[in-house]
Structures are given as C-alpha cells and as structure tokens.
Amino acid sequence: MSGICTGRVVVVTGAGRGLGRAHALAFAAEGARVVVNDLGVGLDGVPGADSPAVSSGAASSSGPAVSSGAASSSGPAVSSGPASSSGPAVSSGPAFSSGPAAPSGPAGPAEAVVAEIRAAGGEAVAHGGDIATEAGAESLVAAALDAYGRLDTLVNNAGFLRDRMLVNLGEDDWDAVMRVHLKGHFLPLRHAAAHWRAEAKAGRTPVARVVNTSSGAGLLGSVGQGNYSAAKAGIIGLTLVAAAELARYGIQVNAIAPAARTRMTERAFAATMAAPDTGFDAMAPENVSPLVVWLGSAASAGVTGRVFEAEGGRITVMEGWRPGPTADKGARRTPAEAGETALKLLAEAAAPGAVYGA
C-alpha cells in the first residue's frame, strides 16, 4: 500500500470504533503501519465483554479504563448541540490492566480493526493498555518501536462520557472524564515526545506529528458536560504548549474538533446523525479522517499549534482568544469606574458563541 504516509508508523488511541477506527483505516490506506489501541470499554468507560481489561484478568488500581473508541467523537455536532451519553453516570469503575493486555480474540475491537487493515493489505498491531497510566502510555510507544522500529505520528483520540448537570456531577465522574481525556492525552504525548527528543539529540531529527482530539464543547462549552467541556478545553491548552515546546525537536502538534456519528452521538442525536438513504453522508466519521491523516503526514510541514473543526465536507480553522476592545486609563480605577469601562467595552465587543444546549 502506498500514499502520503508510506513508511510512517502511526499510533491511534481509542481506535476500535468510531472516529478512531476511521482514522486507523485511513492511515493504513495511505501506507502507514498502525498501532491500534483500544480497551473495548462502554460509553461510560466501564469494560464490555470484549475488553482486554476483562479478558486479560490483570488488575491495577489506576482507575477506570480509558482507551475507548466510544468517545472518539470528540463532542457535539456543530449544528446539533452537545453529544451526551443516554445512560446513567456510573462510579469510577473496576481496576484495569495498565500495560498491553493479552489479545481478546476476534471479538475485541482493536483486534477487529487490525484484521480489517491486514485484510486490505496493510500492516497493524493491537495494543490493549490503559493509556492514562504511566505503564500503559510507555507500553504504547514501546509497541510501535518493538513492532516496527520507529514512531512517526501519535493520534490521541480515546475517551468516554459521564454527563451530568453541574449540581448533580459527582467527583468520581469528574475525575474519570478528566483522566481519560486530559491525562489520556498528556501521558502518550509525553512518552512519544521523550522518544522523539532523544532521536533529535542523537542527530536523527524526526518528522513527528501529534494530532489531539478536542471538541466543540471544549471551544464553546456544552450544557450537561461540564467535565467533558473542561477536559476538551484543557486539551487545546496542552496542544498550544506542546507545539511551542516541542518544535525544536521536529515535532508538530495540532488539534481537531470533529463532529461525526459515533456510539455517543447516534444515540443522543438520532435524527441528526442518521445516515441518509441517498447522497452524501455528512456525519460519517470517515469524513474527518482525511484531515487527520494529512496532519499526521510529512505533507503538513510547518503547520503546528492550530485547531481545526471538521464536520462532513467542511474544514474550519478555529481562531482562539484574541484581544478585543480595550481601554487603558493609565492609573488605577475605582470599582465603579472599572464596571463602567467594562460595560462600554462589552458594548463594542462581538457576542460570544452560544454554549451548546443553552
């Protein structure tokens, strides 16, 4: 297989279903060798019957499993409001394996995607570790190096939901969602970056790429998803810092805010997410993957620290916080003066985007 990623080795987390699966297949179709990470957990992070975390029999005290394609839709469809899980929030869940679990057989989502890639003539291996643990993230990078001798691209995609209005949002559900999305981005990024930095210092500067997954909820907020919105906003901040810090080592870091049909969104927004009988299927997750593949390839040289929204056939460069109207008195104001100035500036400012679901 040949394409814009020929010769590259790509890791995709949460790649057993949804967007992660679409990304893994798209990279393979463009010639990449792919490490497919997934734990096979449900929408709320609890392992399903096909999860390596269950079938391996291993246990750890590290918290809920996180490498799930369930949340590979990273948030609300741009035109349809927030993505949310329809079931009840759950406790932080049982203990899980933090390293690469034993393969769970053909029914396991990671192994199923690997089988699809191989059937199409590509190369792939499965990884069943919990990437929100040190051991799991370290073994994820090691899986690429052990199988293929290199790592070129990391796509952070794993996640799940625990939706609640703020006054009903428990600490366990807050921690679980922050762990899967934010820590589950940070740890693989840190271990991959450490490898690439070592390569650069040894005189082998990589053409390395990281694609993080944020959300419209992280850009604008989403009612009933305070934990998810905060985590996805944090991923944008992490992306900007990583892009600035890691550029000297040949590493580019960008983020996407996709909208697509996944296990999360097709249940919460059935009508909007349903595939049409004829014509273009705007909500197919495969629509998002071409941008991810390009960002993960050498062809994206010079593009770093950017956030892209992707839905259907539309790609949008998102422009973050920029200074708006300002006033400088040159001296300290009284509270009343500060309020008067703030109101005047707000009258001149553009209205903020609406929070999803508000």
pLDDT of residue 43: 76
pLDDT of residue 1: 67
pLDDT of residue 51: 59
Strand residues in the chain grouped as ranges (E): 9-12, 33-37, 123-127, 153-155, 208-213, 251-259, 307-311, 314-318
pLDDT of residue 272: 72
pLDDT of residue 107: 52
SS3 230: helix
Of the residues 62, 72, 222, 228, which is catalytic? 228
Query: How crowded is residue 309: how many other Cβ atoms within 10 Å of its Cβ?
Result: 21
* 39 in Cβ contact with 53 (< 8 Å): yes
Of the residues 80, 232, 300, 356, which is catalytic? 232
Of the residues 215, 229, 289, 300, which is catalytic? 215
Task: Considering only CA atoms, give the Rg of the chain.
Answer: 21
**DSSP string for 73-98:** S-S-BTTTB----SSPP--S------
Residue 228 bears catalytic tag: yes
Q: Whole-angstrom Cα distance, residue 252 to residue 250?
A: 7
Q: pTM for this structure?
A: 0.85
Side chain identity, residue 133: T
pLDDT by residue for the chain (358 residues), tens only, comes to: 679 999 999 999 999 999 999 999 999 999 999 999 998 887 777 776 555 555 444 334 344 554 455 443 444 433 334 443 333 333 333 333 344 443 434 458 999 999 999 999 999 999 999 999 999 999 999 999 999 999 999 999 999 999 999 999 999 999 999 999 999 999 999 999 999 999 999 999 999 999 999 999 999 999 999 999 999 999 999 999 999 999 999 999 999 999 887 776 666 566 777 888 889 888 899 999 999 999 999 999 999 999 999 999 999 999 999 999 999 999 999 999 999 999 999 999 999 999 988 9
pLDDT of residue 267: 65
pLDDT of residue 276: 84
Helix (H) or strand (E) holding 123: strand 123-127
| Angle, helix 109-119 to helix 18-29, in steps of 10 degrees | 20
Residue 62 bears catalytic tag: no
